[in-house]
Amino acid sequence: MKRAAAVVGAAGLLVACAAMAQATPASAAGGGGYQVRRSAQSLAGEPTRWQPAVGAPVSEWRPAGTGSSWQRAAAESTFGKAAAPDTTLRLAEVPPARLARTRTLLTELNARPTPQKAIVVDLPADVLFDFDKADLRPDAEPALARAAELLQGYPDAPVRVRGHTDARGSDAYNDALSLRRAQRVAERLAAATGTRKLETEGLGRREPIAANTRPDGRDDPEGRQKNRRVEIVIGPRASSGWTQSKEMPWR
């Protein structure tokens, strides 16, 4: 029974192969597809072999026509400081139309920043006033005009004028003199800047910037001259005006 089924199966396979060969004459004629041939012997014991088809396309790996390489770009990238207004002297607050002139005035007046971001201009009292006087000298006008122009570069900043003396005389006398001098300077600046309000303060000899005497105790005229001054302090902007009390003004 099994042998008869096998014979029938083999015969069916041969018939199917013969039908395929007749249905594809181009393949039998070597058209590049497959060939079917009859075998008179059993193929059950024949090994199966894989071999390239004749005329089939060949796949291969090979370099592209243009080689790749690593090389430095034409322009190098660098980190540098961006062009921006000076924050120590708060030039970002200055109106663009006044920026160049404000830079010049800050240099001419030797303006200096404080740790609290205030800007201070020191005007020597000997340039502004005669000895022991609080009336402005005529030749003080150029320095005061430059200071008033500088204030216009900071239109929204609070301003305080502070008077100082050297160590000669009593505290009461020096405090009064330094305050009168600060008031005269503030009046001149206010007149040049319109209705702007300026605070004033007289500190006498309490905040020297140089020694009034030499190490051996003798008088130091140069040191005392530096201490006789009027400071114009351009405070940092704040919605409430002053950022510190009068006792601790932006220093």
Task: Please tell me the predicted confidence (pLDDT) of residue 143.
Answer: 95
Cβ atoms 86, 99 nearer than 8 A = no
Q: Which of 123, 170, 117, 126 is nearest to 148 (CA)?
A: 123
- Ranges in the chain, pLDDT < 50: 1-17, 21, 23-24, 26-31, 239-248
Beta bridge partners of 229: 124, 164
pLDDT, position 186: 96
Sheet holding 198-202, edge to edge: 112-113, 119-124, 229-234, 159-164, 198-202
Report the chain's C-alpha Rg in angstroms: 50
pTM over 0.75: no
Dist CA 208 CA 246 (whole Å):
18
Question: Are 135 and 74 a contacting pair, CB within 8 Å?
Answer: no
Q: What is the pLDDT of residue 156?
A: 92
**H-type alpha helices, the chain:** 2-23, 25-28, 99-108, 125-128, 141-151, 171-193, 221-227
pLDDT at position 172: 96
pLDDT of residue 246: 44
Tens digit of each residue's pLDDT (9 = 90 or more) over 91-130: 999 999 999 999 999 999 999 999 999 999 999 999 999 9
